[in-house]
């Protein structure tokens, strides 16, 4: 039995990521699409013959088994809560929420509507990340993790909602940083964080030359952006593992590189690759294991760019049928957003201190 699915939001993610993959997947039947913009609805041609609606009012639990929500960040919790509240299960793109309060709203809607919230997270479905995960038992006790995803040029849509704090919640930390936090939780399991120290900067966000040309977004008139394009932080989990996190939409690097380095008492595993769809990527993933001065390169499965997004769909129908999944996505999101809130609070304090002239 196929899952009757509606896609909410016809931006880049809804149009390029989810509609084509859902249409090609045997487990899903796209029965509706929602977008408030007339131009977006008129331009839809990925799934001919599918009803297109201006609001989610048209989606009911009787007609839809799952809503894939891919709207701008500031609408995530609102739209998902509305659907969950009337019993429609939701698969929600990251970031699941922008504040701890929104996490509470989602939890209440999930509980009251009796529907399940599932969160989209691509990185744990990558073959190279799974190859790294299989190495962890060889590392002994995990002590530290380095997480970084730094683009050479990759600021999304100059002047668009991605670079407006009121609509995106923040910048690269909510975008690439959320993926890195999901990767950490996948590798080491969930945990709370006892310490969060972070710093942000915005040296590139106002310059069009650093935009993500591969997304083919047209610049939007208005503010150049009031969010960070770079974030660096040091975190400590309640299991004692320390974490260095670095996320950058732009940099002076030649390529877009993602790196996950896990340091253990017995060995260190290091994965270098490129998450996402940027063509300015590492030519191949490289995975190494270092023990007592000897570094060994290990094979990594090669797969087409974007395979991890289709792989998310492979197990989705089973998750919907599992009552044990209810509440899990909100719990994970609450942990991630608390880290991000702590990160921003730390960065604000640091910026306020450096803004005060030093006494003579």
Mean pLDDT estimate for the chain = 91
Whose tokens are 């260095």? That residue is 244
Strand ranges in the chain using DSSP code E only, listed in sequence order: 3-8, 28-34, 52-53, 66-69, 90-92, 117-119, 142-150, 193-201, 230-237, 242-248, 257-264, 268-273, 286-291, 294-298
In this structure, the answer to whether residues 203 and 257 fall within a common structural domain is yes
138/360 Cα distance (integer angstroms): 55
In this structure, the answer to whether residues 278 and 294 fall within a common structural domain is yes
Residue 342 located in a structural domain:
no
Residue 322 located in a structural domain:
no
Residue 19 located in a structural domain:
yes
In this structure, the answer to whether residues 291 and 202 fall within a common structural domain is yes
108-167: pLDDT as tens digits: 999 999 999 999 889 999 999 999 999 999 999 999 999 999 999 989 876 688 899 999
8-35: pLDDT as tens digits: 999 889 988 999 999 999 999 999 999 9
Range 201-224 average pLDDT: 68
pLDDT above 70: residue 55: yes
Tell me the percentage of the chain whose pLDDT exceeds 90: 78
Which of 67, 90, 120 represents a domain boundary (last residue)? 120
In this structure, the answer to whether residues 295 and 151 fall within a common structural domain is yes
Asked whether the bond before 95 is cis by omega within 30 degrees of 0, the reply is yes
DSSP summary character for residue 5: E
pLDDT of amino acid 219: 52
Residue 131 located in a structural domain:
yes
In this structure, the answer to whether residues 111 and 130 fall within a common structural domain is no
pLDDT of amino acid 275: 96
> Nearest 5°: CA angle at 186, between 184 and 190?
80
DSSP secondary structure letters along 59-92: --TTT-SEEEE---GGGHHHHHHHHHHTT--EEE
In this structure, the answer to whether residues 20 and 163 fall within a common structural domain is no
Residue 336 located in a structural domain:
no
Residue 360 located in a structural domain:
no
299-324: pLDDT as tens digits: 999 999 999 999 999 989 999 989 89
In this structure, the answer to whether residues 55 and 25 fall within a common structural domain is yes
Which of 70, 97, 120 represents a domain boundary (last residue)? 120
Token pair listed for 9: 């939001």
In this structure, the answer to whether residues 163 and 221 fall within a common structural domain is yes
Whether the Cβ atoms of residue 189 and residue 158 lie closer than 8 Å to each other: no
pLDDT of amino acid 213: 57
In this structure, the answer to whether residues 94 and 210 fall within a common structural domain is no
Which of 287, 305, 323 represents a domain boundary (last residue)? 305
Whether the Cβ atoms of residue 327 and residue 320 lie closer than 8 Å to each other: no
pLDDT above 80: residue 223: no
Whichever domain contains 33, its CATH number is 3.40.50.720
68-91: pLDDT as tens digits: 999 999 999 999 999 999 999 999
Whichever domain contains 205, its CATH number is 3.30.360.10
Residue 346 located in a structural domain:
no
DSSP summary character for residue 242: E
333-358: pLDDT as tens digits: 999 999 999 999 999 999 888 765 55
159-209: pLDDT as tens digits: 688 899 999 999 999 999 999 999 999 999 999 999 999 999 999 987 767
pLDDT above 90: residue 48: no
In this structure, the answer to whether residues 85 and 163 fall within a common structural domain is no
> Nearest 5°: CA angle at 103, between 101 and 107?
120
Whether the Cβ atoms of residue 64 and residue 95 lie closer than 8 Å to each other: no
In this structure, the answer to whether residues 114 and 127 fall within a common structural domain is no
pLDDT of amino acid 356: 56
Whose tokens are 């769909």? That residue is 313
Whether the Cβ atoms of residue 98 and residue 40 lie closer than 8 Å to each other: no
In this structure, the answer to whether residues 137 and 235 fall within a common structural domain is yes
pLDDT of amino acid 161: 87
Residue 241 located in a structural domain:
yes
Alpha-carbon Rg for the chain in angstroms: 21
Count structural domains, the chain.
2
Structural domain of residue 141, as residue ranges?
123-305
pLDDT above 90: residue 215: no
């Amino acid at each position: 039995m196929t899952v009757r699915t509606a896609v909410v939001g016809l931006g880049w993610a809804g149009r390029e990521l989810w509609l084509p993959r859902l249409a090609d997947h045997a487990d899903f039947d796209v029965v509706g699409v929602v977008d408030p913009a007339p131009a977006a609805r008129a331009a839809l041609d990925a799934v001919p013959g599918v009803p297109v609606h201006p609001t989610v009012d048209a989606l009911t639990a009787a007609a839809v088994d799952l809503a894939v929500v891919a709207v701008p960040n500031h609408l995530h919790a609102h739209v998902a809560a509305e659907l969950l509240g009337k019993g429609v299960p939701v698969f929600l793109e990251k970031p699941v929420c922008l504040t701890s309060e929104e996490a509470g709203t989602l939890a209440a809607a999930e509980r009251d509507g009796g529907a399940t919230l599932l969160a989209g997270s691509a990185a744990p479905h990558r073959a190279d990340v799974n190859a790294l995960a299989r190495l962890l038992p060889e590392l002994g006790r995990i002590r530290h993790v380095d997480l970084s995803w730094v683009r050479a040029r990759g600021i999304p849509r100059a002047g668009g909602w991605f670079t407006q704090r009121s609509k995106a919640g923040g910048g690269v930390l909510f975008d690439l940083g959320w993926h890195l936090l999901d990767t950490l939780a996948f590798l080491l399991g969930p945990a709370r964080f006892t310490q969060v120290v972070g710093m942000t900067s915005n040296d590139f966000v106002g310059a069009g030359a650093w935009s993500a040309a591969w997304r083919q977004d047209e610049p939007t008139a208005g503010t150049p952006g009031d969010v960070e394009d770079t974030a660096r932080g040091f975190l400590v989990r309640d299991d004692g593992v320390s974490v260095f996190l670095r996320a950058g939409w732009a940099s002076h690097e030649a390529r877009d590189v993602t790196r996950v380095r896990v340091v253990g008492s017995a060995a260190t595993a290091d994965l270098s690759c490129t998450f996402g769809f940027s063509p300015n990527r590492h030519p191949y993933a490289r995975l190494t294991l270092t023990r007592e001065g000897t570094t060994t390169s290990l094979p990594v499965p090669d797969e087409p760019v974007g395979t991890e997004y289709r792989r998310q769909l492979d197990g989705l129908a089973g998750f919907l049928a599992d009552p044990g999944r209810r509440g899990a996505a909100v719990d994970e999101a609450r942990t991630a957003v608390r880290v991000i809130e702590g990160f921003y609070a730390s960065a604000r304090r640091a910026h306020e201190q450096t803004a005060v002239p030093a006494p003579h």
